[in-house]
Structure 1
């Protein structure tokens, strides 16, 4: 052998050794970089967190990969066979890598001039999907093959198939066959039929292409191919295959099922979960979350709100505010006995709207705050029959004597001495301010706080310690959830229950890791709440004795509540309740402005009395919220038993004079006598002294003096005066005060006592007998003629 040949052979051997070493080294390095799967079976892939309503309806899934893990024993055999038949028919024969499949795929690729078919086994697909990237490189293929062999070495075929069926992507952000069964067929995986199993088995090749939501025809062709493969490999008979092929594709839910039910509530829950466990756990660890929401009630709430904005509440598009559509709305219902939040609508539902007005919007409550004032009064011994004088009053609000505040009633109308029941039912501003002044601002704030109002400002240059508190003029405001919870104290006989939305959290192993109990505390006496409930029922009354501002909310069964419209119509409220449910509704623009809108059609909307047509604009007020409240509540209480507000043995009833709050006297007019309720010890024991024997007197209105027989009849009016005091009284026998003509504030003397209108003491002398008057008229006419003649001559 020549020297050249020897050198060549040695060079070739060295080159082969170097290349082999490099190849072995490269493979060893790749293998070393490959993930360890020795513990793969001990943990599950990323699972979505599922959120359920109280009645076990799925509300939403939170996930990075939308997956619910299912064990192999829950998967029907037809599904397992379908996957094997279409994806890897030699699955039970190979050891992770199938040379026959690789050779077949290589031949197809060579003929096609590119990568057309892959030779990956089902085990290799598992390795790729679970642990590797999807890039087509030699490096990744070596890792994939190595991992497949390791899977086959460490796990059984049944375990590998379970891993694969839970790992695969099946379109529309759905991972795993359990989630896919729910998404496409609204059922658990164990209940899949043969055609349904075949359809799911056909998806992994091209999930979006073969999705029945994208193209039913292509989905059917792919499904039938799977059935053919199952028949070919002996998993089903020819008759079974033909029968399944003839089945139409029925999807029980559309793509809209991806959307959250009760989206504002779901985001409320999501925030709580992330605060408790962190985002990584919430989106990956497969928690099961059980909430307080009532799915049926939520659906009815959403339907009612949608109908209202279509029917009688106008909408506009604005750039200002958290949401584009205005006005916005917040609605929430709670169970006052356990604090469970049953419904939550935090806005108009725009996709980009993430501002939950139920929990985040602090708005002025207006007259919806008045029940706190009245509750404080009842705690101090006031009754529904207690009388407040509904006449204007000036209050000092600054250091200067001219710094006065004079609260006004709606339409600038005043009722005089009026009971608390009527004052609350009619939402009379002046009475509420006067009552607050008597009860005390600090006492009222304390009642509001213990009932659940949390953001009253008590310190600083601008605070809530002023009489405007009675009218809901708060520095920060309240949320609709606060209002619902606070009114819930009244519905729940004085027991305060913190509102809750989260009931239980279960991990993916079935362990309960969080359970929520209602936090209860007695804050009001039962007698007090019964009295206030009874007064607030009058708000919903519609005559003949009382016609409340919330009459549109009348349900025809025991219910109570309060309207609230802020100044300039920037906020409209109705917070109402039955003994079982409390619902708070707020309507307003995010950037507060008057809710006055032009009506699009030419029809005139009728006002409350249905006789007077409104102008061609629509101003939103508590009338609309009360109507909406009634429409919604009627739906959710339908077919539910009627329940009464619980009374106690400490409640008594008495006939009283509503003008004086005392027992009727013989002089009290019949229309001032009412049956009223009291807490024992607060009922009146003395007779009315306000009403006294009266007499009717005719007065000449042109002179203000007692009329005579000679006064013209058109100038004469008959007025009623007390016989003893000569004080003028109204039709109910109530003394009439003199008032300032400009402010309508009653006048007082130097000692602070009211000045009353009294009967005139002198008779009219301006009008005399006709004969004398005729003489006077004749003389006057003659003088007039002489003057006219004189002026004519002068000219």
Structure 2
């Protein structure tokens, strides 16, 4: 019986010890927080290649990078050799090291060695670096043993290296590598790793800013230990000892500051991997800064540019503004790429594509370009000139305002707004009545982010037309992404097969739009656009907002879309600021950085060859004389035949118009004649020397025709505003008309008052009081034209 009790006692002691350890582990599990380091980290921005683009300091003023998943093997060897050579063999507490420390401290009668393991040091850092004492040392030991049970050795090593102090406000080895050596932790030398390994030992006393001899002695001592352990050879040792110590802390990379600020707001304290290509980003930012310096002489301070990969929608360069030092007061901190700005003319190609898609026009359909008044809104072309009538594609190429306003009136503002929203414009927050006809001229605000994404989607749809065998994937229309599409922000179109035969804009309409945008024919008054003729084929559009506040240029190819904005973040306009003059040069320089020189396939499946009148751009009628067989969008079959060619009867000598009442049929010549309405003809003939006006009627053959007279200004039901001169006195209105007969006389009447007569150049000036008025014009053949207008 006595023997049995003796035999059972060790078992009971062992069980009691296990139970005690279990209780202690449970207590530690309650005491030790699940998150050792709750502090918010610095926010880091990385390129698509994994290179650091920029960083933002943590909220507590510390440079503290997020913890790493692994450490470079060389640094791990340096750290373990210097701090804890038995790291992989002890359970968190090294009894041998503690015994040695007690002996040394006893002999020296002061603390010269702590005997702490890396795990104990991790515990001390996690507990806030409390003042050293035997009690605190005991607590650290308990923590260390517990941490060893819930973390692997590599995890403990990574946690320590990521949160150890490295001098000043530098926390963590990776942070120190960038601050002291300007490189990532993966790209250091043995000497640099050794320098970092010794810094946490006494970070408050020894760091690269002072006590340099002590630092070098510690580093070289560690290098000597590495030689003794055959980790490095003698040659590496000697060369490493010759390496100089780092100087003052270096600034961290700042290649994409505006993108970092944008993403850090939603992802603070994270490592953010973007789709940005570092080398291209640096080139783009340098170019933005260079042009900003050039434009600064005109007090133009801000400039932004963005480049995207069309296929994925990934942003590969993001220069949100100028980054020149010392210009912070000029609005350089504003991220222009996401700032709503007046769009100017940048939306015009989308209207052109919408009208082609709906069969409202053909690419060369003549659009009226004469003075226009819509309830007091009187758009002007950039050069203050009217051309009478211009082909639709020329209106896009020259960015003519008046024809595009007329096109929008035909298409409908609300309908156009819906089209813009479908293609990715997110800033249309007001009803259509708020924008009206001004929407096409910059009456709405848009962002460079949205607009570049919209044109990238156009390019993507065109490029994928063949890929989907003439069908459409609705997911091809999507916004840009600053992240690698597959890794961080998957876009549905990658796997989605939502193919449809009903596109919002057909490939045919988009192809003709791209062709019009690629034509190098911009308003001569804006800039010397001919300088771009030698460049690769690019579909591009510029825009200038009212008052010279915003200059835009956006272009695309099958592979890339580029957007540029120039102006002042404050909204201050500058004379001479234009899209062609200021934004387009940047656009084309950016495209010169990009590869590729191919173009979109022509979507023949959505086109038909049709006889087109060379003069009017309409489908040719039987009496159109000059006809070309051209491809048009299939929807263009819904358009009307040429309304401008008409049969006219001429006298035998061809000098006069006649009719059967004054000339025998045998003496008449009947032929087709290209006839524009009088108001269009008034301007058109000045730019087309081949345009031949109708000859006058043969005396005695005149007949009353209501379309002989046309008001150029004002239009019927126009709203005019009282003009004021410099003296504050009311100025005169200048009314203008056109007549089909060059020699005609027009008699002007306002209400019941006679104003006078005009011949040749039909315009008359008069003072008109506020209110509603009737304007009556009568020519010497009895033709009349009456309109109502209102003066406010």
1:701 aligned partner: none
- Contact 2:100-2:115 at 8 Å conserved across structures: no
Moved more, 428-437 or 288-297: 288-297
Q: 1:333 aligns with which of 292, 307, 311?
A: 307
Identify the match of residue 643 of structure 1 among 596, 599, 607. 599
The 5-angstrom pairing of residues 158-557 of structure 1 reads 164-171=160-167, 175-177=171-173, 180=176, 193-207=189-203, 220-230=216-226, 239=234, 242-249=237-244, 255-256=250-251, 258-273=252-267, 283=269, 289-314=272-297, 316=299, 327-349=301-323, 355-359=334-338, 361-381=339-359, 382-395=361-374, 397=375, 404-459=376-431, 463-464=434-435, 466-474=436-444, 477-493=445-461, 495-503=476-484, 515=490, 517-518=492-493, 522-538=503-519, 540-541=520-521, 556-557=535-536
From the superposition, tell whether residues 182 and 527 of structure 1 become closer, same or farther in structure 2 (CA, over 3 Å): same
1:786 aligns with none
Structure 1 residue 386, shift from structure 2 partner: 0.4
Aligned ranges for residues 646-795 of structure 1 at < 5 Å? 646-651=602-607, 659-662=615-618, 677-680=631-634, 682=636, 689=645, 730=686, 731-733=689-691, 735=693, 755-759=739-743
CA distance in 1, matches of 2:480, 2:643: 46
**What whole-Å deviation, never above 9, does each CA across 1:264-288 have from its counterpart, x for those lacking one?**
2223333343xxxxx5xxx3xxx66
Residue in 2 that maps onto 1:36: 28
Report how many aligned residue pairs link the two structures. Answer: 632
Per-residue displacement from partner, 1:303-348 (whole Å, max 9, x unpaired)?
Answer: 21011112345475xxxxxxxxx63233222233322222222222
TM-score (normalizing by structure 2): 0.66
Secondary structure of 2:645's counterpart equals coil
3-state DSSP of counterpart to 1:265? helix
Partner of 2:473: none
**2-side partners of 1:69 and 1:458: how far apart?**
48
Would the alpha carbon gap of residues 206 and 311 (structure 1) be closer, same or farther in structure 2, given more than 3 Å must change? farther
For 1:20, the equivalent position in structure 2 comes to none
Q: Considering only CA atoms, is the larger Rg found in Structure 1 or Structure 2?
A: 1
The residue aligned with 2:139 is: 143
Aligned position for 1:101: 101
Shift of 1:583: 1.5
Match of 2:560 among 564, 577, 581: 581
Q: Alpha-carbon deviation of 1:688?
A: 6.4
Cα distance change, pair 40–229 in 1 and its aligned pair in 2 (3 A)? farther
Q: CA deviation at 1:553?
A: 5.3
Distance in structure 2 (CA, Å) of the matches to 1:33 and 1:63: 37
Measure how far apart 1:656 and its partner are: 5.3
Q: For 1:381-416, what per-residue CA distance to the aligned partner results, in whole angstroms no more than 9, with x for missing partners?
A: 212210012111222x2xxxxxx3322222321111
Q: Distance in 2 between matches of 1:93 and 1:535?
A: 76
Deviates more, 1:559-568 or 1:492-501: 492-501
Change (3 A) 1:556 1:350: closer
CA distance in 1, matches of 2:282, 2:484: 20
Q: Which runs of 5+ in 2 are unaligned?
A: 1-22, 59-63, 463-475, 656-672, 695-707, 719-735, 746-792
**Conserved 8 A contact 1:54-1:295:** yes
Unpaired stretches in structure 1, ≥5 consecutive residues: 1-30, 274-278, 317-325, 398-403, 507-511, 597-617, 698-720, 762-795
Residue number in structure 2 paired with 1:25: none
Residue aligning to 1:572:
551
Deviation, structure 1 residue 261: 3.2
Mapped to 1, the partners of 2:67 and 2:54 lie a distance apart of 13
CA root-mean-square deviation: 5.2
Question: 1:593 matched to which residue of 2?
Answer: 572
Deviations 1:661-682 (A, max 9, x none): 2579999999xx9886522463
Are the counterparts in 1 of residues 307 and 317 from structure 2 also a CA contact under 8 Å?
yes
